[in-house]
Structure 1
Amino acid sequence: MLNTYTSYQLIARDIGKALERVEKQPIIERETEYYLKNITKVKTIDEFVKNDRLFKYAMKAHGLQDMAYAKAFMVKALKEGVADKDSFANKLTDKRYAEFVKSFNFAELGERTTVFNKAQQGAVDKYLLRVGMDGGNTQSEAVQKEVKYYLDNIVKVTSAKDLMADARLYAFAMKSFGIEASIPNKEMMEKVLAGGVRDPKSFANEMADKRYAAFATAFNFEAYSADATTINPSQQPSTDKFLRQTLEEDAGKDNEGVRLALYFERKASSIGSFYDVLADPALAKVVRTALGLPEAFASADIDRQVKLFEEKLKISDFSNPKKLGDFLKRFTSLWEINNPSSPVQASVGILFGMPPAYGVSTDLMFAMQKLRF
């Protein structure tokens, strides 16, 4: 049996292919097809939770499948939305609930929730608001003509280059976000769109004027490529999340350490502090294991745990692919020692340096000791 590190690497080094294999599983293919065919028909929270098949798919996509039975709880979260920092979802320690509500934001978008796209309806809403603020008539023939042209053509745009090539679309989009003064500065806008918003240090995120980051969020070619102008968080992103969730679950059936490593890799870039780590039992388990801490340490004072983590690790390292890779190598190696994939062979392998497919090799143990965080 392959050890934890090797099993993790076989999946992590080509996540795309691993997800394709999951997607081709008959039951997964069938459920995904049903979901995409029917989610756009959902107009209300009530319709959503009453369709058990759709609701369970969506819950699993966000890692909340164990709470699919708690419909009253989820209805409360959906009704209050996430606009108010004191809303039910925002006050929950587990941030997966807030992410779920963002994906199915009925509180803000109502009947448009499952078809709303920031680059389409979102931009039009903002454009009309700007027209009104400037004293214009939003129902005038000229304005409605621009809206129609925009909606008819924005869906054909598959790149930042396409957007800027159509002066009419580009001007509409820029005015929507109140940054029409920057229309001539295409070089800057190319940087805004190319960097996206996933990286906190991207060009748009580091600009003092947050309207540019909002623009990059709506026209997120960096994250969604050709799908940026058609994507809806309740549609394709949810199916992508479902496939990733299934991949991790399948890996966990053979080796829980592999599932934890894949999960940590997925969440790493969103970790803002070690308090975030402690708020998520799975993330906390990975960190404790990587640092060689006993499970009993989980019951220690939270501030004390955070202090120790900060002494040993840097949060910024989790956003660095190389350093994250080293960290997960250490985790999977220590996990293997504590949870041998093949107990008898693992112990022999450690003693006599058998091939790394069996337990943990002597070379790997020495390499692990040299890792620095």
Structure 2
Amino acid sequence: MTYQPVVPFSGFAGWQFLSRTMETQQAAFAASTENQRLDAYFRETIGQIDTAQALVDDRRLLGVALGAFGLDADIDNKYFIRKVLEEGSLDRTALANKLSDKSYLALTTAFGFGDYSVPRTKLSTFADEILTKFQTREFEVAVGEVDNDLRMAMSLQRDLPELAAKDVSETAKWYTIIGSPSLSRVFQTALNLPPSVGALDVDQQREIYMSKAQRTYGTSDPAELGASDKLKVLTRDYLLRAQLSSVTSVSSQNVALSLLQSAGAQSLYLRL
């Protein structure tokens, strides 16, 4: 039986509850029969995988590999994933280096099929490395089935500090945020930016994000935004604004429904 996370509240209150119970719930999720079977299969089999083709040909292994990097939706895109894995990460012209979503780069770097004569699947620590990422991500997916805003908040706790720690420029970090579906959504909501900002030129987007972050949080540096104190405020703002948007949307729908019902009643009265 699949474990369903317990989230009794939505929004920031739900986040506070989830944060307090996270460790216990993650352990229960990992201990579920389905996850234990998948864990055992991956440990037994991954060391036998020598090529990207062999990985994509095993759907169960591929599911874990993609799930570990939040790429579950690509499970049927075998040719594309094989190409990402085979071209590796060391060559600047490799496909993964050209994609705005750096999850693919992280995937191919982790497996090393295109970078080394012996892939990283042969390392004794490899199964633990990937399964730890997989269980974390899959728990986020499970939480998302209950409340997707909380899933976004969870991914923020991992992705932003990781990005903050990278030895790249502030500008490059913002490009990564813009290219990440989850990070861009969180920042867009927390900074109260309209969805239409995503249609702008990427340099214009960066300028808007940086300007709004500076005004809101006193810094435009993702390295500072990923620090514990700023991250807590950013998470709170995202969840509060997301909940407000949801309530506003529901209220608007209720008003529209009320108007339609009223119009229907008036029409019936006139016919009578």
Scaled by the length of structure 1, what TM-score is found?
A: 0.57
Partner of 1:149: none
What is the deviation of 1:316? 2.4
Q: 1:285 aligns with which of 162, 177, 185?
A: 185
Q: Does 1:274 align with 2:170?
A: no
8 A contact 2:144–2:151 mirrored in 1: yes
State the identity as a percent. Answer: 23
8 A contact 2:102–2:176 mirrored in 1: no
CA distance in 1, matches of 2:113, 2:156: 30
Give every structure 1 segment of 4 or more consecutive aligned residues whose post-TM-superposition deviation is greater than 6 Å: none
What is the deviation of 1:17? 2.8
Q: Does 1:311 align with 2:206?
A: no
Number of aligned residue pairs: give it.
230
Q: Does 1:28 align with 2:35?
A: yes
Partner of 1:236: 128
Partner of 2:234: 327
Q: 2:113 aligns with which of 94, 106, 111?
A: 106
Q: Which secondary structure state, in structure 2, belongs to the residue aligned with residue 114 of structure 1?
A: helix
8 A contact 2:111–2:119 mirrored in 1: no
Partner of 1:298: 198
CA distance in 1, matches of 2:182, 2:112: 27
The residue identity in structure 1 corresponding to 2:154 is L
What is the deviation of 1:326? 0.9
RMSD across aligned C-alpha pairs, in angstroms? 2.3
CA distance in 2, matches of 1:297, 1:111: 44
The residue identity in structure 2 corresponding to 1:324 is L
Q: How does 1:332-343 map to 2 (within 5 A)?
A: 332-340=239-247
CA distance in 1, matches of 2:149, 2:81: 30
Distance 1:239 1:300, change over 3 A: same
What is the deviation of 1:41? 1.8
Q: 1:77 aligns with which of 63, 84, 87?
A: 84
Instruction: Name the structure where helix makes up a greater proportion of residues.
Output: 2
Q: How does 1:114-129 map to 2 (within 5 A)?
A: 114-116=121-123
Partner of 2:216: none
Distance 1:278 1:77, change over 3 A: same
Q: 1:3 aligns with which of 4, 10, 17?
A: 10
CA distance in 1, matches of 2:196, 2:113: 42
| Unaligned ranges ≥5, structure 2 | 1-7, 164-169, 214-219, 252-272
The residue identity in structure 2 corresponding to 1:294 is P
Q: 1:90 aligns with which of 87, 91, 97?
A: 97
| Unaligned ranges ≥5, structure 1 | 117-229, 345-373
Deviations 1:226-265 (A, max 9, x none): xxxx522xx1121111111111111111211111111111
Partner of 1:62: 69
CA distance in 2, matches of 1:282, 1:76: 24
